[in-house]
Amino acid sequence: MPTIHTKNRVLVTGGAGFLGSHLCARLLQDGHEVICLDNFYSSSRNNVLALLQHPNFELIEQDVTSPLTMKVDEIYNLACPASPIHYQRDPVQTVKTNVLGALNVLDLARRHNAKVLQASTSEVYGDPAMHPQPESYNGNVSPIGVRSCYDEGKRCAETLFFDHHRQYGVKIKVARIFNTYGPHMHPDDGRVVSNFFMQALAGHDITLYGDGQQTRSFCYVSDLIEGLVRLMDSPLWITGPVNLGNPEELRIRELANDILARTQSDSRLIFEPLPQDDPKQRRPDITLAKRLLQWEPRVSLHDGLEQTHRYFAGLTQDA
């Protein structure tokens, strides 16, 4: 796709988080003015320390559930804890972040005729009965489970986006993000890549849930950010939802063995019961992203895990 040279004033909610911090850096590199908004509930100032000296970067500590008043051309709504440990800690607030946050960014976009992108999730598919998951699949989601605050919150946010588009003409984009990994992941977020690296590097037992035969598809963070930027820069008629993720499927036990070998750890594999509503399979159908955005992942799992290994090894050395 052609490079976009227009300089925009861009708001990134959740901008100090794992994905948000990488997105802020990319947008600055592309020549935009960036406003990073974050309440630091599950993120870290360290993720954006290197950006604070940039003349086009502004950091605002604020919750996305509070009214937004800045003037912007584009909005990326990434604000929401994305790991079960964080979003289940305060499930009511998680729902508020998803729903009130969506309403606030949509209201801001409507007032300033700005484009707004919702960072939705593969969790809208729940424990899928269709594999791989295309955007046309409506999902298999429990509205009353322990993960529902996140899953149903994200589904409601998508509803709000499309209703604002139909009712008010708001220029929306919706990305459904599948498992993403890389530097700036929270070391204690409970997600499988960070869990395995931190346990292996500390010499602790590596915890697998169920029999370890469930599958996930892992996309390196730079590939995911490229997909988000391409979706935002795409023609207005491309609203999404568009799946962004890596279609290469991997069993969780295979990932654990890879990380054990990579870290040269003597950790043992131990098995715990599968958490409630945890999906057995997760793999995106990215046909739409390939066709509309000319996007697909480029970074191999081998290379991406190597970069991630260096990041977590650095954290353990500094501790």
Instruction: List the domains of the chain with CATH numbers.
Output: 9-179+221-247+283-298 (3.40.50.720)
Cα separation values, 219 from 23, 92, 180, Å: 15, 29, 5
Question: Does the pLDDT at position 3 exceed 70?
Answer: no
Question: Does the pLDDT at position 2 exceed 90?
Answer: no
Q: What is the mean pLDDT of residues 23-47?
A: 96
* Omega before 241 within 30 of 0, i.e. cis: yes
Name the residue type at position 233. Answer: D
Q: How far apart are CA 297 and CA 244, in angstroms?
A: 9
Q: Which residues contact 319 (CB under 8 A, 6 or more apart)?
A: none
pLDDT for 318 equals 64
pLDDT bin (cut points 50, 70, 90) of residue 70 is very high
Q: What is the mean pLDDT of residues 7-33?
A: 97
Q: What is the mean pLDDT of residues 135-145?
A: 94
Q: What is the mean pLDDT of residues 71-93?
A: 91
pLDDT bin (cut points 50, 70, 90) of residue 193 is very high
Q: How far apart are CA 247 and CA 282, in angstroms?
A: 9
Q: How far apart are CA 48 and CA 59, in angstroms?
A: 9
pLDDT for 319 equals 53
Percent of the chain with pLDDT over 90: 82
Q: In which order are the strands placed within the sheet that holds 115-121?
A: 57-61, 33-38, 9-13, 74-77, 115-121, 171-177, 242-244
**Alpha-carbon 169 to chain mean position:** 26
Question: Does the pLDDT at position 5 exceed 60?
Answer: no
Q: How far apart are CA 18 and CA 48, in angstroms?
A: 10
- For residue range 249-273, list pLDDT tens digits in order: 999 999 999 999 999 999 999 998 8
150 is catalytic: yes
In this structure, what are the phi and psi dihedrals at residue 74, rounded to the nearest 5 degrees? -145, 150
pLDDT bin (cut points 50, 70, 90) of residue 306 is very high
Among the listed residues 125, 150, 181, 220, the single catalytic one is: 150
Q: What is the DSSP string of 257-301?
A: HHHHHHHT--PPEEEEPPPTT--S---B--HHHHHHH-----S-H
Q: 309, 197 in Cβ contact below 8 A?
A: yes
Give the closest residue to 186 by CA, choosing from 59, 304, 17: 17
Q: How far apart are CA 117 and CA 119, in angstroms?
A: 6
pLDDT for 81 equals 84
Task: Indicate left, alpha or beta for 111 from its phi (over 0: left) and psi (-120 to 50: alpha).
Answer: alpha
Q: How far apart are CA 192 and CA 279, in angstroms?
A: 13
Question: Does the pLDDT at position 42 exceed 50?
Answer: yes
Residue 250 class from Cβ within 10 Å (0-12 exposed, 13-18 middle, 19+ buried)? middle
Q: What is the mean pLDDT of residues 88-117?
A: 96
In this structure, what are the phi and psi dihedrals at residue 38, rounded to the nearest 5 degrees? -160, 145
Question: Does the pLDDT at position 6 exceed 80?
Answer: no
pLDDT for 104 equals 98
Name the residue type at position 65. Answer: T
Q: What is the mean pLDDT of residues 149-174?
A: 97
Q: 289, 228 in Cβ contact below 8 A?
A: no
The CA radius of gyration of the chain, in Å to the nearest whole number, is 19
Percent of the chain with pLDDT over 70: 97
SS3 97: helix
Mean pLDDT is lowest, of 206-210, 218-222, 228-232, 235-239, for 206-210
Let me know the angle formed at the C-alpha of 10 by 161 and 115, rounded to the nearest 5 degrees.
30
Q: How far apart are CA 108 and CA 127, in angstroms?
A: 34
What single DSSP character describes residue 16?
A: T
